[in-house]
Amino acid sequence: MGSAQKQLNEGEELIVDIHPHWIFLAPSVSSLLGVVIVGIIVIAKTNGTAATVLRPVAGVAVLVVLVWFAIRYVKWATTEFAVTNERVMSMTGVISKTGVQIPLDRINSVEYHRGPIERIIGAGDLIIESASQGGRQTFEDIRHPDEVQREINAQMQHTDRDARGGASAPVVTESVAEQLTKLDELRRNGVLSEAEFQAQKARLLDA
C-alpha cells in the first residue's frame, strides 16, 4: 500500500497514484554505465604503474556513481504524485515524508510542459496554479502529464458540480437564521408585537 493510500480521508477516492517517470533515473543510470565501461577499459588496457594508479581511481569512480544511483533510486521509489476526488498530493521521503497537498477547490489552473524528447517518452512537468499557500507549484518528471491534467480537471468539475448542488440547503438555513435574528431585534425594539413576531417566525419556519 502506497503512502497516498494511507493518507486518504473517509470517503476519499484515489484516482491517480504514480511514481516519477523513469527519466528521473536517466542521468544516474547513464553515468553508472559510463564509468563501468571506462573501468572495464582501464582494467583491460592498463598494466604496470599505470594500472596501479588508474585502477583504484576507476574503482572509486564506480563506487561514487553507484552510491549516487542508489540515492536517486530510493528517492524515485519513495516519491508519489497522487490525485484524489478531493485534492492533489505529492510526497517524498523514506522515514520522514515531506510534500504538498492542494485541495481541488483551491486550484485555479493546471498546465503541463513537455520537450520534444519528453513528448516521445511520455513525460513532462505539471504546473498547478492555486490559491493555496504555495501558489504556483511545478511537479517534474510526471508520467503522461496531459492525461493527469485531464483527470485533475475532471475531478475539479465534479467537485464544482457537487458544491453547486449542495449549496442550496445551507444558504436557505442561513437566510432563515438571519431573518429570525432581525425579527427578534424588531420585537425587542418594540417595532413588532409578540403576536406579530410569532406569526412571522412561523411563516419563515414553514417556508
Separation between Cα atoms, residue 5 and residue 83, nearest integer Å = 11
* CATH number of the domain bearing residue 91: 2.30.29.30
Average pLDDT of the chain to the nearest whole number: 85
* Residue 74: partners with Cβ closer than 8 Å, 6 or more residues away: 94
Based on the domain organization, do 86 and 177 belong to the same domain?
no
Candidate from 25-39, 80-94, 180-194 with smallest mean pLDDT: 180-194
Give the side-chain half-sphere CA count within 13 A for 45: 8
The domain tally of the chain equals 3
Domain that holds residue 186: 170-206
Confidence of residue 207 (pLDDT cuts 50, 70, 90): low
Based on the domain organization, do 39 and 26 belong to the same domain?
yes
- DSSP letter for 46, please: -
Give the pLDDT score at 174. 52
Based on the domain organization, do 84 and 186 belong to the same domain?
no
> What's the average model confidence in pLDDT over 178-203?
76
Examine the pLDDT at 127 and tell me if it is beyond 90. Answer: yes
For the chain, strand residue ranges (E) read 14-18, 80-84, 87-92, 98-103, 107-113, 123-130, 136-143
